[in-house]
Structure 1
């Protein structure tokens, strides 16, 4: 037995439900001004590229010379390290702060709020300058009991390098923003999910790991991806620490030697665009993975009681009338439930 589903406009159905459906003559809408606008944009982009290729100030031979220079590639790798280390610490600390913000304990909630208020309310460049002056503010790092002789003492400038200070400064600033992103994602999950998990006997940790966090990732991933890309570009500010081995600072130092800054700026921009493109591709696949199952349900479709076939009325955009999906016809040799008579 072969089941068939026939789609036809509601106004063209024969009275007895038999016969072939009438063909729909679709006419494509014309958008002449849209095409003109697209042609103008293409011409502008082409003219810009041609003009840029002929500009002597860009000095494209110098761009090709320094693009894969050993100093530049090492600085690009250091920039990538700054981004990864800072974001890992920021995500861990951001999740902790988000949980603290949602805590019923007023002291814990207030501490988290003050942290966010300070780090979101001051520029990251100013914070990095303070971290660069940490060895002046705290000349040593002491470990021990308060008001007692320290068990172990380290000089701050020896214990913490400028690279470590740059990572700490970037991570603590970014954690304030990640906390709000994570908190928004956790609040986006329906409270009934938490209640259902509690009714099943799950602990708070099991509920967060197995129920709440997986559902909130669909909301957390997109802004987190944007923050990672933003962090990649924010690493250009670590010269305030001062840390001088990142990509932007290194290319700036090379341009100070050659007295030709524009090609080196292009070189730095190309490397930033390369890393950003990789991060955007990774963000796309992460969003696609955590968005599985969203939008798959079709409330405007229903299944026939006897045949299990799809029936109902579906709209056709631009046709002005709905489409009726008829249930399949049955052979005389079968009854309604598909069995032989």
Structure 2
């Protein structure tokens, strides 16, 4: 029986059955093609390029005036006031939030009721209303006294002398911040496994030691990212203290904008960039605080930006060596 034409050639070209496959290092891995991802990337890059081009070439932004105002002493004075108000309000608000959270979690019905009422009221009232109410507080109570309820007063003082613009701003922001911080702290404490509480109680540890050394360090893993988000909101909320006659960063820009109406846009860009700088610094601090409290909870700590850069450079060098060897 004759073979069909070309059969001998096909058998000769076919590889032998016992021929070993090429090594994995010699095989080329072809990645899966994703045209949708490339199209979306191209569209985003075009939009970003158009936005950057318009931002750089539009004369309406007046970048020369932006450079003039950015580091002016008046702007820096307002920036210092913003930082002071933020730091004082963040510290007092966090302290008040911890006390309110502990009161909310206590067994006393009076403490729970007062804490819940405070959080409910301060989260319901707009911050601008709280600030304006405190600014006009002296009209309701000209003097404040400390003494026995419904009895004699030990000492009294003039409220108008104590409530300066800085005090009104810090007290108003702290009261508002404490209400939100209380829920953040309470949620972080409740996120700790109940077995940790039971184990600490079984060891006979004092309540204060249980909270400071066992519960709080674990709760901070949940509290830190949530409270930093709240802190970023506090940085932006300081712009409202302008309405209680405190010239912070935003208040200074508002005043300069009224004096120099032709520079309103560059002044707004100045305050925008400074707020971006402040919130970026808070985000950097958040990263390192979260990394610190992640010890013992993850197998490896998240790499820092410097470590990421070193790893990327090392990978590029290895890739270049492999290509040179080929």
Q: Normalized against structure 2, the TM-score is what?
A: 0.81
Counterpart residue number, 1:244: 246
Which stretch of the first structure deviates more once superposed, 179-188 or 142-151?
Answer: 142-151
Q: What is the count of residue pairs matched by the alignment?
A: 276
Aligned to 2:266: 263
Q: 1:150-189 maps to which residues of 2 (within 5 A)?
A: 150-189=153-192
Name 1:39's counterpart in structure 2: 42
State how 1:315-330 maps to structure 2 within 5 Å.
none
Contact 1:163 1:243 in 2 (8 A): no
Of 134, 143, 148, 2:146 maps to 143
Instruction: Return the match for 2:118 from 115, 120, 131.
Output: 115
Cα deviations across residues 111-145 of structure 1 (Å, max 9, x unaligned)?
A: 10000110011111111111111111111122233
2:90 is matched with which residue? Answer: 87
Distance 1:51 1:142 in 2: 60
Q: Shift in Å at residue 152 of structure 1?
A: 2.5
2:157 counterpart SS class: strand
Matching residue of 1:217: 220
Contact 1:166 1:243 in 2 (8 A): no
Task: Report deviation, 1:148.
Answer: 4.2
2:304 corresponds to: none
- In the alignment, what sits opposite 2:202? 199
Q: Determine the structure 2 residue equivalent to 1:58.
A: 61
- Deviation of the 1:36 alpha carbon: 2.1
Q: Secondary structure at the match of 1:151?
A: strand
**Residue in 2 aligned with 1:133?**
136
How many Å apart are 1:151 and its aligned residue?
Answer: 3.2
Paired with 1:156 and 1:136, the residues of 2 have a C-alpha distance of: 10
- Report the counterpart of residue 312 of structure 2 in structure 1: none
Paired with 2:151 and 2:194, the residues of 1 have a C-alpha distance of: 49
1:162-200 alpha-carbon deviations (Å, 9 max, x no partner): 111110000111111110110111011111111111111
Superposed CA RMSD: 1.7
**Aligned partners of 1:289, 1:97: CA distance in 2, in Å?**
26
- Cα distance in 2 for partners of 1:116, 1:87 equals 17
Q: Distance in 2 between matches of 1:160 and 1:296?
A: 51
8 A Cα contact 2:242 2:250, kept in partner: no
- 1:48 corresponds in structure 2 to 51
Q: How far did residue 243 of structure 1 move? A: 2.8
TM-score, normalised relative to structure 1: 0.78
Q: Separation in 1 of the partners of 2:233 and 2:201? A: 38
Deviations, residues 51-76 of structure 1 (Å, cap 9, x unaligned): 12222221111111110010100101
Contact 2:241/2:247 (<8 A) preserved: no
1:28 maps to: 31
Runs of 4+ with >6 A deviation: none
CA distance in 1, matches of 2:122, 2:85: 19
- d(CA) in 2 for partners of 1:65, 1:176: 40
Which of the residues 279, 283, 294 maps onto 1:280?
A: 283
The separation in 2 between residues aligned to 1:295 and 1:94, in whole angstroms, is: 28
1:149 CA drift (Å): 4.6
Structure 1 Cα separation of the partners of residues 298 and 23 of structure 2: 32
| Structure 2 segments unaligned to the other structure (5+ residues) | 1-21, 301-326
Which residue in 2 is equivalent to 1:313?
A: none
**Aligned partners of 2:183, 2:68: CA distance in 1, in Å?**
44
Question: In terms of mean alpha carbon deviation, does 54-63 or 178-187 score higher?
Answer: 54-63
Q: Deviations over 1:25-54 (max 9, x none)?
A: 643222222122112211211111211222
Deviation at 1:22, TM superposition (A): 6.9
